[in-house]
Chain A
């Protein structure tokens, strides 16, 4: 389900100009299309499943220079690059890929970063197969797309490890103070963009580490924390101030910040309250929301308990409810923490699972069990109030529902009981309620999401913008970033008025 982007005339023009550059022409004619299409997609080196499912080190090891350049040769440098339309932020993919092919990594990273400020992250966690890679011409022709995500990761990592991170020249200060609320991908992107324009930016973050879901949710084996740390340090070099342990709405309200001289605001507070299944027994001991489970492990480092003080249950028989990335991260974490059985229970079928294909694949390799068309109806506890089993129903697929996916319907009399000692509920979150609660003027939609004008990301309050999961519910890193860039451009305009 790819939603194609509409590119602005300026962007189209830029794409064209790059496309027509001499070196691009030369590179295109250096290898015939037919030859390019013969190269097979370069495999991402991965750690062996039996080894990696016992630790938290990164699974994917990254392409080396040679392989990356070979992979880049697979790209046909289309005159009308479909991939760009598939990327929610319209990255000039052929430019950065062709620069890899010719070995000009500096030019590649500059081109990439002009549209995506967090490429090391997006290259790792973007659902490429439903976005840029889904519509790649090479995929249409050969069935296997150019590995755009892997190349994006390669070039971003190259900059962080081998190259020198380029710090752009900051224009003279405008003297305008901007408050960014939430240090997730949305907030960090806005902060970077506005700092580069010469505004004085402060990011306020409730937790004690910046990064949002990228630090407390997505595990180390998929997105090492050092990458995020580098991004935050980069922002600080741009002059961004990061204030941790500061809950806007409670430590200070928007009004208070206005009095302190902040003129423009961005709300990037992300998803809050986790959804639960609303079935009996859900508050038994040993049943977590995915957010709690992952926060204990990732942010509080419960995997290293008792060296770190925060505990987490080490289940031997762990089940996770849900079929998205959050569910995959939870179940693979449970496996790594020593579960003999770690299983996904999903109420629809495999094809409806929203998780990235690569994660599902990795999970299977690591020995995760998948049980589709299965819905829990109650948890059963022991006399200590600890969960010991879950009763489920088998489902079958009926007519498509409003989301276009076939609706699961219970099969009568199909109840069965699974013995478990750990359950994680990963069925989504509702938007964080703190800012709307403390700002009655802020218009929110029926799910509690902050409402914005989608062209400008402006909220109903003057000078207040928003983006990311707080306006979309659970979305993706790249969408959060895309919102942030739109908002930053508008905020800059607003500040200069």
Chain B
């Protein structure tokens, strides 16, 4: 059992959850994730750590409501308990002094990129942060991210912010004045990761993407999370989740993530009928 210290809506459909877990709080590092189950009948779902408080012994994640498990999570009140919370899992992101690092995040990845941007900054990098939202009112944690960034951009499809186009355009804009970027790190939906990797591929900028394939155990036992990197099969939960975006076999990942599309809809309808008859 783990106690939820705080659960709150950040913006429509995206929630923050802070969980009491002193061990995980002490250990977790940027880029790692936890696995939790919202109730006894739930799935084991992975969430990237978005922050932690080692003194208080809590871990924070930001999640987007997509299916049954995340819906269930979004209804939990502060003070309630969840049966399963385990972590930190996966390898931490490589944090070094690279020079200029561009951190790109979208939807839940805005939260998840935060500890990475912070650590990159602390390691002495020049940090350029680039966030992508569908509409202006979906932006959150702007202050926190600005505080650890040397430059800060937001792209939104409603043209509210700097640019309405997706990451490639902003990237071009950043690189326009012949500036050099040494590394790109990106977290968010698979499409965002893919776009980042494709944008930097011709430029030869090393681009690390945090992949989110379907997982079950998250400890390297089941093989559900397998992804093809170059010509090798890797298990994202133990070999990743960070990989070189230029080596990921994207079509396979897109397809495998949709494995349970129909079941997920069925599951959600079933649960909604039960909870909101």
Q: Which residue of B lies closest to A291 (CB)?
A: B222
- For A310, list chain B residues within 8 Å (CB): 43-44, 216
User: A291 CA to B219 CA in the complex, in Å?
Assistant: 12
A252–B83 Cα gap in the complex (Å)?
20
| Stretch of A109-117, A272-280, A330-338, A361-369 that contacts chain B | A272-280
Say yes or no: A285 contacts B256, CB within 8 Å.
yes
Q: Compute how far the CA of A34 lies from the CA of B260 in the bound complex, rounded to whole angstroms.
A: 62
Cα(A273)–Cα(B221), bound, Å: 5
Q: What's the Cα separation between A371 and B245 when bound, in Å?
A: 41
* Cβ contacts under 8 Å, B258 to chain A: 285, 385
Instruction: From B83, B87, B251, B266, give the contact of A250 (CB < 8 A).
Output: B87
Q: Assess whether B222 is in contact with A307, with CB atoms less than 8 Å apart.
A: no
B94 CB–A CB distance under 8 Å = no
Whether B222 lies near A300 (C-beta < 8 A) is no
With A251-B23, A309-B68, A434-B238 known as contacts, the answer to whether A292 contacts B216 (CB < 8 A) is yes
**Residue pair B86, A276 in contact (C-beta under 8 Å):** no
Q: Are A276 and B259 in contact (CB under 8 A)?
A: no
Q: Verify if B226 is at the interface (C-beta below 8 Å from A).
A: yes
With beta carbons under 8 angstroms apart, the residue of B42, B86, B235 that contacts A251 is B86
List of B residues within 8 angstroms of A274 by Cβ: 221-223
Contact A285 B255, beta carbon cutoff 8 Å: yes
Q: Is the CB of B86 within 8 A of A208?
A: yes
- Tell me if B189 is interfacial: C-beta within 8 Å of chain A: no
User: How would you classify the secondary structure of chain A's contact residues: helix, strand, loop or mixed?
Assistant: loop
Q: Are B89 and A433 in contact (CB under 8 A)?
A: no
Least Cβ–Cβ distance between A178 and chain B, in angstroms: 19
0 or 1 for each of A261-305: is its CB under 8 Å from B? (1 = yes): 000000000011110100000110110110110011000110001
CA distance A272 to B256 in the complex (A): 22
| Minimum CB distance partner of B253 in chain A | A283
Residue of B nearest to A272 (CB): B220
Residues of A close to B233: CB separation below 8 A: 276, 282-283
**Which residues of the other chain, A, contact B84 by a CB distance below 8 angstroms?**
208, 245
Contact partner of A245 among B85, B226, B255, CB < 8 A? B85
Picked from B37, B42, B86, B221, the residue with its CB within 8 Å of the CB of A246 is B86
B271 CB within 8 Å of chain A:
yes
A355 interface contact, C-beta 8 A: no
Would you give the shortest CB distance from B122 to chain A, in whole angstroms?
Answer: 22
Q: Given A274-B223, A285-B259, A308–B41 Cβ distance below 8 Å?
A: yes
Q: Does B270 contact A (CB under 8 A)?
A: yes
What chain B residues lie within 8 Å of A495 (beta carbons)? none
Most chain B Cβ neighbours within 10 Å, of A252, A292, A300, A385? A292
Instruction: List A425-475 residues whose CB lies under 8 Å from chain B.
Output: 432-434
Closest Cβ of chain A: how far from B254's Cβ, in Å?
A: 8
CB distance from B71 to the nearest CB of A (A): 10
Q: Which residue of B lies closest to A205 (CB)?
A: B86
Whether, in the assembled complex, B217 has its beta carbon less than 8 Å from a beta carbon of chain A, the answer is yes
Chain A residues within 8 Å of B43, by CB: 300, 309-310
Name the B residues within 8 Å of A308 (CB-CB). Answer: 41
Question: B residues within 8 A CB of A384?
Answer: 255
What residues of A have a CB within 8 angstroms of the CB of B259 in the complex?
285-286
Residues of B within 8 A of A385 (CB): 251-252, 255-256, 258
Number of B residues near A (Cβ < 8 Å) is 43
Closest beta carbon of chain B to A353's beta carbon, Å = 23
Which residues of the partner chain B approach A251 to less than 8 Å between Cβ atoms?
A: 23-24, 27, 86-88
Interface centre among B87, B220, B221 (most CB of A within 10 A): B221
Name A286's closest neighbour in chain B (CB-CB).
B259
| Given known contacts A247-B86, A251-B86, A272 and B221 CB-to-CB distance under 8 angstroms | yes
Q: Give the chain B neighbours of A291 by CB distance below 8 A.
A: 221-223
Quick check: B68 and A295 within 8 Å, CB to CB? no
- Once bound together, how far apart are the Cα atoms of A250 and B218, in whole Å? 12
- For A275, give the chain B residue with the smallest CB separation: B223
Question: What residues of B have a CB within 8 angstroms of the CB of A282 in the complex?
Answer: 233
* Contact (Cβ within 8 A) B89 A305: no
For B86, give its contact among A245, A271, A283 (CB under 8 Å): A245
CB neighbours (8 Å) of A168 from chain B are none
Q: How far is the CB of B211 from chain A (nearest CB, A)?
A: 13
CB-nearest residue of chain B to A278: B233
Measured in the bound complex, the distance between the Cα atoms of B41 and A76 in whole Å is: 51
Alpha-carbon gap, A288 to B221, bound state (A): 12
The answer to the question of B69 belonging to the interface, with a C-beta cut-off of 8 Å to chain A, is yes
A206 and B219 in contact, given A283-B226, A283-B252, A309-B267 (Cβ under 8 angstroms):
yes
Q: Decide if B221 touches A283 in the complex (CB within 8 Å).
A: no
Contact status A250-B270, CB under 8 Å:
no
Docked-complex contact B23 and A246, CB < 8 angstroms? yes
Asked if A207 lies at the interface with its beta carbon under 8 angstroms from chain B, I say: yes
Quick check: B267 and A300 within 8 Å, CB to CB? no
Provide the residues of chain B in CB contact with A434, threshold 8 Å: 219-220, 238
B264 located at the interface, meaning its Cβ lies under 8 Å from any Cβ of chain A in the complex: yes
* A171 CB-CB contact with B under 8 Å: no
**CA separation between A273 and B234, bound complex, in Å?**
10
Q: Is B224 an interface residue (CB 8 A)?
A: yes
- Give every chain A residue within 8 A of B42 (Cβ-Cβ): 309
A172: CB under 8 A from chain B?
Answer: no
Instruction: Kindly list chain A residues whose C-beta atoms are within 8 Å of the C-beta of B69.
Output: 309
| Chain B neighbourhood of A272, CB < 8 A | 219-221
- Does A306 sit within 8 A of B, measured CB to CB? yes
The contact string, 1 if C-beta is below 8 Å from chain A, for chain B 65-90, is 00011000000000000011111110
**Cα(A276)–Cα(B37), bound, Å:** 28
B169 to chain A: closest CB distance in Å? 30
Q: Please tell me if the beta carbons of B86 and A295 are within 8 angstroms of each other in the complex.
A: no
Query: A311 near B: Cβ within 8 Å?
Result: yes
> With a CB–CB cut-off of 8 A, which chain B residues contact A252?
23, 27
A sample of 23 cross-chain residue pairs with beta-carbon separation below 8 angstroms, ordered by A number, consists of: A208-B37, A208-B83, A250-B27, A250-B89, A251-B23, A271-B221, A273-B235, A274-B222, A288-B224, A289-B222, A289-B223, A291-B222, A292-B216, A292-B223, A305-B263, A306-B266, A309-B271, A310-B43, A310-B216, A311-B267, A384-B255, A432-B221, A434-B219
A-B CB proximity, top 9 nearest: A385-B255, A311-B263, A289-B223, A292-B222, A245-B86, A306-B270, A274-B223, A208-B84, A309-B43
Kindly list 16 other residue pairs between chains A and B, CB separation below 8 angstroms, not including A276-B233, A310-B43. Answer: A208-B83, A208-B86, A245-B84, A247-B87, A252-B27, A273-B235, A283-B233, A285-B258, A285-B259, A291-B221, A292-B222, A307-B41, A309-B69, A310-B44, A311-B263, A385-B258
Interface residues of A (CB under 8 A from B): 206-208, 216, 245-247, 250-252, 271-274, 276, 282-283, 285-286, 288-289, 291-292, 295-296, 300-301, 305-311, 384-385, 432-434
